[in-house]
Amino acid sequence: MKFSVALLPLFLLVASAFALGKNSQNQTPIAWGMLSQNTGCVIFEEGRKTHGAFWGVAVTTKTSGKLTVIEAQNYTLEEKVYLETQENMDALMQRAQKDKVKYVKIPENYTQEQLENARTLCTQNQSQ
């Protein structure tokens, strides 16, 4: 029992070191929607949106994901920012299937290389 208690701080230290290593510099773009035979493509920047409220002596915050349109190829979206709610993700997926659109998302603080990789993903398996 003492041995496992002594290992707990070491385990937490190693786990936090791995979490710190997951920055936006080493994240690859993620494609979703119509992955083949797509006619258009939208590149999103994935970020976080925080809502806060002050209740006298307490503060509450709610963080949710958001997708911001960076660029679109052969397709136009009316909105430029989408909150990552289940309803919005379902609507985007239905739209992708109906309009044959591929979506690619990259991290909020993306590099030029990540943007170029996202553009390359957009053109892969595209119908002519």
pLDDT in tens, the chain (128 residues): 454 444 444 444 444 444 444 555 568 999 999 999 999 999 999 998 776 777 777 777 777 799 999 999 999 999 999 999 999 999 999 999 999 999 999 999 999 999 999 999 999 877 76
**Residue-range domain boundaries for the chain:** 26-123
Q: Which of 98, 40, 110 is nearest to 68 (CA)?
A: 110
* DSSP structure class, residue 125: T
pLDDT at 89: 95
In the chain, the largest separation of any two C-alpha atoms, in whole Å, equals 65
d(CA 31, CA 105): 7
d(CA 39, CA 25): 29
pTM of the model: 0.72
